[in-house]
A and B are shown apart, each in its own frame.
Chain A
Amino acid sequence: MILLQAVAGSTLGIMGAGFGAGLAAIGAGIGIGQIGGKAMEAISRQPEAVGDIRSNMIISAALIEGVAFFAIVICLLILFAV
């Protein structure tokens, strides 16, 4: 069992990288989807604030995307540098 794991080391790593990237995409999707949804609600509540809400939504989306990209970079490191 241990021998099998030792031999399958790198393929497990590659599979893990793919899995990690998928999870990162799910996380970013959920997070930014929530931001978008709440932003829509806020606009419907107060249509004249649409400018402020839109800029804040874009800033928050960029920050959360940054976290997802962090995970992507780690997966790329596994695939190409290790």
Chain B
Amino acid sequence: MVKKIKQWISLLLLAGVFTFSLTSAILPSSPAPTEKNEQTHSLPAEEQTSKETGHHFDAEEMIMGHVLDSYEWHLLTIKGKHISIPLPVILYSKEKGLNIFLSSKFHHGHSSYKGFRIAEEGKYAGKIVEETADGQVVRPIDLSLTKTAVALVFSVILLIWIFTSIARRYEKHRNEPPHGLQNLLEPLIIFIRDEVAKASIGEEKYEKYLPYLLTLFFFIFINNLLGLIPIFPAGANVTGNIAIPTVMALFTFALVVVSATKYFWIDIFNTPGVPWWLKFPFPLIPLIEFSSLFIKHIVLVIRLFANIVAGHIVALGFFALIFIFGEMNTLAGYGISVVTIAFTVFLTLLELLVAFIQAYVFTLLSALYIGLALEEGH
């Protein structure tokens, strides 16, 4: 009876977290909060010397333009002309209803369309706003497929394709040695199953959580790797957008809260071994323990987000060096590019390591938190 109620509550909670995270992952089709909110294409890109176009190279705008989200996918700029892929803009406003159109109607943020425009500065800089009838500037419900969302869809399709193909192969050839893609993924899957899931959660209970942990690990790993490849459709900053690690940590938090045993809550609110005067009249220890429950998961988010975004910003900074030097003197630009390429190769190798480590640490800590929540009494 209790088990049934627990199952219902867990289902409702997970459904709630899922819908909330779905909307919150789609809704912030907007720059990450720690970066400056600026329009990504207010000036034509400055990837040539000032002699040709007279535009000064703005390193900050180039770096932020690559790291932040945007309503179109900018590929190249040839002689001042942008070549970018327009992405669908899906808006629902209370006055004008549902509007779906391509972001090319905005002409890189210079024109408005049907009363919607990309705000240049202010609170909503870089995002689509509309003017209501009484002159207020307000954000409609923005479900646009921005660059991050499209990259997310691409990586999800890639993941589903990879894993369904090896699953089918495992089904058809049950007791045969691994072949092809299985060889690549089997060591990783067994590593996560043995070193992370079994070690943290325990032999009896790990199987329920293994699919989630494997999904988490491969999702983060593939998205980190795709962020390093500069060729479309990879190269968007997916895990470096704060919404996505937030959603994953929310899932882990929901799992922890839903699968926590009675002893977990006793350890938080009535920690054994702690003197009574720390719990009553002012519950100091329960407060600290309760806030640590949230802080642990928030730190998961920050760790993944900051690692990935910092790696991208440093790599982009090195590339910007070439153009900064190139503006002063074309030869200096070519000269520094040798140094920059050497640095960037080393940095990309380091970023490969960071991609794997951050995926592994996120998964390991999730497994640890779940394992701690499942612990029975002593």
Known: A70-B302, A76-B34, A81-B33. A62 touches B357 (CB 8 A): yes
Known: A66-B299, A77-B34, A80-B35. A72 touches B361 (CB 8 A): no
Residues of B within 8 A of A80 (CB): 34-36
The smallest beta-carbon distance between B340 and chain A, in angstroms, is 23
Contact call A59/B303, Cβ cutoff below 8 A = no
Contact call A62/B361, Cβ cutoff below 8 A = yes
The smallest beta-carbon distance between A7 and chain B, in angstroms, is 23
* Interface residues of chain B: helix, strand, loop or mixed (majority): helix
The smallest beta-carbon distance between B242 and chain A, in angstroms, is 9
Interface size class, chain B: 10 to 19
Is residue A73 contacting chain B, with contact meaning CB distance below 8 A? yes
Residues 5-46 of A contacting B (Cβ, < 8 Å): none
Residues 46-73 of A contacting B (Cβ, < 8 Å): 58-59, 62-63, 65-67, 69-70, 72-73
Give the contacting residue for A73; candidates B34, B36, B357; CB below 8 A.
B34
Residues of B within 8 A of A58 (CB): 357
Interface centre among A59, A63, A69 (most CB of B within 10 A): A69
Contact call A66/B303, Cβ cutoff below 8 A = yes
Is residue B348 contacting chain A, with contact meaning CB distance below 8 A? no
Contact call A69/B34, Cβ cutoff below 8 A = no
* Interface residues of chain A: helix, strand, loop or mixed (majority): helix
The smallest beta-carbon distance between B259 and chain A, in angstroms, is 23
The smallest beta-carbon distance between A64 and chain B, in angstroms, is 10
Is residue B138 contacting chain A, with contact meaning CB distance below 8 A? no
Is residue B247 contacting chain A, with contact meaning CB distance below 8 A? no
The smallest beta-carbon distance between A67 and chain B, in angstroms, is 8
Known: A59-B364, A80-B34. A69 touches B358 (CB 8 A): no
Residues 350-378 of B contacting A (Cβ, < 8 Å): 357-358, 360-361, 364
* B binding-site residues for A, Cβ under 8 Å: 33-36, 299, 302-303, 305-307, 310, 357-358, 360-361, 364
